[in-house]
Amino acid sequence: MAEEKEQRYDPAAIEPKWQRRWAAEPALYAAEPASCGKPKYYVLEMLPYPSGQLHMGHVRNYSIGDALARHMWMRGYNVLHPMGWDAFGLPAENAALKNNTPPREWTLNNIAAMKRQMERLGLGYDWATEVTTCLPEYYRWNQWFFLRMYEKGLVYRKKSKVNWCPKCATVLANEQVVDGCCWRHETTKVDQRDLVQWFFRITAYAQELLDDLDKLDGWPEKVRTMQRNWIGRSEGTDVDFFLAEKADEGIGNSHPSEHRPLAGDPGRDQELEKTRIRVFTTRVDTIFGATSVQLAPQHALVAEFTAADPKLKEQVDELLEQQKKAREAGDLGAIEKHGVPTGRFAINPYNGERIPIWVANYILADYGTGAIMSVPAHDERDFEFATKYGLPIVEVIQPVHKIEGAERLPFLSEDGVLVNSGEYDGLSCEAAQKKLQEIAAAKKFGEATITFRLKDWGVSRQRYWGTPIPMIHCERDGLVQVPDEQLPVVLPAQIDITQQGGSPLSRVPEFVNTKCPKCGGPARRETDTMDTFVDSSWYFYRYTDAKNPNKPFDPKTAQYWFPIDQYIGGVEHAILHLIYSRFWTKVMRDLGMIANDEPARRLFTQGMVIKDGAKMSKSKGNVVSPDEMVARYGADSTRMYALFAAPPDRDLDWQEDGVAGVSRFLARVWRLATKYAPLARSGRGQKAIVPAGVSLKLLRKLHQTIAKITLDFEGRWHFNTCVAAIMELVNDIQAADAQLAAGEVSAPAMLELLRSLVLLLAPFAPYLTAELWEELGEEGYVLRAPWPKSDPELAREDDLEIPVQINGKLVTVVLVAADATPKAIEAAALADEKVQSRTSGKTVAKVIVVPGKLVNLVVK
Ligand SMILES: [Zn+2]
Ligand SMILES: [Zn+2]
At 389-404, the pLDDT tens digits run 999 999 999 988 777 7
How do 478-481 and 603-606 pair as beta strands?
A: unpaired
Q: Which ligand is nearest to the CA of 474?
A: 2
162 DSSP β-pair partners: 193
Higher pLDDT, 511 or 325: 511
Residue 452, number of CB atoms within 10 A of its CB: 16
Separation CA 664–CA 671 (nearest Å): 11
Cβ 517 vs Cβ 486: under 8 Å: yes
Please give, one letter per residue, the 3-state secondary structure of 182-247. ECCCCCCECEEEEEEEEEECHHHHHHHHHHHHHHCCECCHHHHHHHHHHHCEEEEEEEEEEECCHH
Which whole number is the average pLDDT over 237-254?
70
pLDDT > 50? residue 266: no
Separation CA 124–CA 82 (nearest Å): 9
Q: Which ligand is nearest to the CA of 185?
A: 1
Torsion of CA 357, 358, 363, 365, to 10 degrees: 60
pLDDT computed for residue 254 by the predictor? 41
pLDDT computed for residue 267 by the predictor? 41
Separation CA 46–CA 131 (nearest Å): 12
Selection from 610, 533, 758, 683 nearest residue 60 by Cα: 610
Q: In the chain, what percentage of residues exceed pLDDT 90?
A: 72
CA-to-CA separations, 458 to 490, 531, 536, 602, in angstroms, rounded: 22, 8, 15, 28
Which whole number is the average pLDDT over 110-120?
97
Q: Which ligand is nearest to the CA of 476?
A: 2
For the ranges 350-354, 401-405, 537-541, 609-613, the maximum mean pLDDT occurs at: 537-541
Using the mean position of ligand 1's atoms as its centre, give its distance from the Cα of residue 165 in Å.
Answer: 5
Which whole number is the average pLDDT over 468-497?
94
Using the mean position of ligand 1's atoms as its centre, give its distance from the Cα of residue 178 in Å.
Answer: 11
Q: In the chain, what percentage of residues exceed pLDDT 70?
A: 94
Biggest alpha carbon–alpha carbon distance for the chain: 113
pLDDT computed for residue 170 by the predictor? 72
pLDDT computed for residue 368 by the predictor? 76
Using the mean position of ligand 1's atoms as its centre, give its distance from the Cα of residue 468 in Å.
Answer: 23
Using the mean position of ligand 2's atoms as its centre, give its distance from the Cα of residue 504 in Å.
Answer: 24
Using the mean position of ligand 1's atoms as its centre, give its distance from the Cα of residue 183 in Å.
Answer: 6
Separation CA 74–CA 785 (nearest Å): 6
- List all residues 6 or more positions away from 398 whose beta carbon is below 8 Å from its beta carbon: 411, 416, 417, 419
Cβ 638 vs Cβ 626: under 8 Å: yes
Give the angle 375-380-383 at the CA atoms, nearest 5°. 55
Selection from 449, 435, 427, 409 nearest residue 291 by Cα: 409
Q: Which helix (H) or strand (E) holds 587?
A: helix 576-590
DSSP sequence for 717-765: --HHHHHHHHHHHHHHHHHTHHHHHTT-S-HHHHHHHHHHHHHHHTTT-
- List all residues 6 or more positions away from 532 whose beta carbon is below 8 Å from its beta carbon: 86, 88, 89, 133, 466
Using the mean position of ligand 1's atoms as its centre, give its distance from the Cα of residue 182 in Å.
Answer: 5
Using the mean position of ligand 1's atoms as its centre, give its distance from the Cα of residue 191 in Å.
Answer: 11
Which whole number is the average pLDDT over 19-31?
95
Q: For the ranges 571-580, 581-590, 798-807, which has the lowest average pLDDT? A: 798-807
Using the mean position of ligand 1's atoms as its centre, give its distance from the Cα of residue 497 in Å.
Answer: 14
Using the mean position of ligand 2's atoms as its centre, give its distance from the Cα of residue 534 in Å.
Answer: 28
Half-sphere exposure of 364 (CA within 13 A, CB side): 11
Using the mean position of ligand 1's atoms as its centre, give its distance from the Cα of residue 828 in Å.
Answer: 82
Using the mean position of ligand 2's atoms as its centre, give its distance from the Cα of residue 489 in Å.
Answer: 18
Three-state secondary structure call for residue 443:
coil
Report the Cα–Cα distance between both ends of the chain, in Å, rounded: 72
How do 478-481 and 471-474 pair as beta strands?
A: antiparallel
pLDDT digits (tens, 9 = 90+) for 62-99: 999 999 999 999 999 999 999 999 999 888 888 887 88
Q: Which ligand is nearest to the CA of 516?
A: 2
Using the mean position of ligand 1's atoms as its centre, give its distance from the Cα of residue 464 in Å.
Answer: 16
Q: Which helix (H) or strand (E) holds 162?
A: strand 155-165
Q: What is the mean pLDDT of the chain?
A: 91
Cβ 81 vs Cβ 66: under 8 Å: yes
Using the mean position of ligand 1's atoms as its centre, give its distance from the Cα of residue 327 in Å.
Answer: 19
Q: For the ranges 432-446, 645-659, 742-756, 810-824, which has the lowest average pLDDT? A: 810-824
pLDDT digits (tens, 9 = 90+) for 523-570: 999 999 999 999 999 999 999 999 999 999 999 999 999 999 999 999
pLDDT > 70? residue 257: no
Using the mean position of ligand 1's atoms as its centre, give its distance from the Cα of residue 163 in Å.
Answer: 10
Q: Which ligand is nearest to the CA of 163?
A: 1
Q: For the ranges 22-36, 124-138, 483-497, which has the lowest average pLDDT? A: 483-497
Neighbours of ion ligand 2 (CB under 5 A): 474, 476-477, 516, 518-519
Using the mean position of ligand 2's atoms as its centre, give its distance from the Cα of residue 465 in Å.
Answer: 28
Provide the H-helix boundaries in 427-515: 429-442, 509-512
pLDDT computed for residue 112 by the predictor? 98
Using the mean position of ligand 1's atoms as its centre, give its distance from the Cα of residue 190 in Å.
Answer: 8
Return the axis-axis angle of helices 576-590 and 136-151, rounded to nearest 10°.
70
For 619, phi then psi, to 5°, come to: -65, -30
Which whole number is the average pLDDT over 624-629?
95
Q: Which ligand is nearest to the CA of 521?
A: 2
pLDDT computed for residue 501 by the predictor? 61
Selection from 235, 240, 239 nearest residue 282 by Cα: 235
Using the mean position of ligand 1's atoms as its centre, give its distance from the Cα of residue 170 in Å.
Answer: 8
pLDDT > 50? residue 253: no
Separation CA 662–CA 637 (nearest Å): 6
pLDDT > 80? residue 250: no
Q: Which ligand is nearest to the CA of 191?
A: 1
